[in-house]
Amino acid sequence: MGRTAWSCAVGLFLCFLLPACYEKQEGCLDINATNFDVTADVACSDCCTYPQLSLKLEHKAVLPDTTLPFRYDSLYYVAAYPDVKFRFHRLRYYLSDIRLSRTGATGRVVDSITLYLPQSPGDTVPLRVVNDFMLADRDFLQAKKLGTWRGEGTFDRLDFTLGIEDAIRYTDPAKTPGGHALQAPAEGYNWSEASGYISNFMRYSTEAQPLDTLEVAITTPVPVSLILDPPLEIVPGYNITLTLYLNYMAWLNGLDLSSASPAAIEQQYTNQAANAFYQIEVKFN
């Protein structure tokens, strides 16, 4: 080997040994991020992306002898009144305040939104709240991305609210961002001038009187707490999708819909809300 080639080889070898010759790689060094880079040497500036929580509903009608996909074009009945067939024309409701819980700790979405609460004609007061609202309907089949998730470890409960808390029920839907769940729907199902946000809107008719369409506007928010058995372990750095299986018949269990009043339907719904959720699936990606 000539002197020149030898010198180049030695120089290259020494360059690998000297830190000044090594170009450090920048990347996300937060182990809680979805893009944590184990090969990075230098923390990047605001490049980390954090896990997102998504929620999906599986809409079911659990009858005494079978389980069916819940549809608006089908007749159903509750076990106590098998001869009273009914058809839902619309069921649209909110979920909010979604948390995974254990003793002494909670995991939840950390994004927030400013809502505006009317105080007097033409005047509003801003109200900052957690932004994890979901407007649900059996026609909405895709998982809803709720926001950035914080929380790790093992959780034994899933807590949420069916509906909208009274403290924000009258906030102005016209001042929410475009496409947000709290924008007043064009059909008006879940918001009205008189009631504010409607937690659960039901429209149905019975087989005996198909042209007599009845509506129930439930404004009462219902807290739901579901036991996770086995407990759910959340590993840092992964997006989470929760899928809830919902049996709509459970909301009406024990009711004769040919004669039940809106107040009776609301009371039964309030009592039975948690019983309608009968299975939870979790996916990480």
Residue 142, exposed/middle/buried by CB under 10 A (0-12, 13-18, 19+)? Answer: exposed
Which SS3 state, helix, strand or coil, does residue 14 take? helix
Cα gap 14→6, rounded to integer Å? 12
Q: Where are the alpha helices (DSSP H) in the chain?
A: 3-17, 262-272
| pLDDT for res 278 | 95
What is the Cα–Cα distance from 153 to 149, expressed in whole angstroms? Answer: 13
DSSP-derived pairing of the beta strands 153-162 and 81-102: antiparallel
Q: How far apart, in whole angstroms, are the C-alpha atoms of residue 128 and residue 185? A: 22
- For residue 261, the model assigns a pLDDT of 95
Structure tokens at 265: 């339907």
Q: What is the pLDDT of residue 277?
A: 96
pLDDT of residue 188: 77
Those residues of the chain that have pLDDT short of 70 are 1-22, 184-186
Percent of the chain with pLDDT over 70: 91
Q: For 207-238, what is each residue's pLDDT tens digit?
A: 999 999 999 999 999 999 999 999 999 988 99
pLDDT of residue 232: 94
Token pair of 187 as six digits: 């059909």
In angstroms, the CA 183 to CA 177 distance is: 7
| Count of C-beta atoms within a 10 Å radius of residue 245 | 17
Q: What pLDDT was estimated at residue 102?
A: 95
* Amino acid symbol at 20: A
Where in the chain does DSSP place strands (E)?
A: 26-27, 42-43, 52-63, 66-69, 76-78, 81-102, 105-109, 112-120, 123-130, 134-137, 144-150, 153-162, 191-192, 196-197, 200-206, 214-218, 222-234, 240-247, 277-284
> Domain extents for the chain?
52-111+132-166+175-284
Do the beta carbons of residue 137 and residue 193 sit within 8 Å? Answer: no
The predicted structure's pLDDT at residue 6: 47
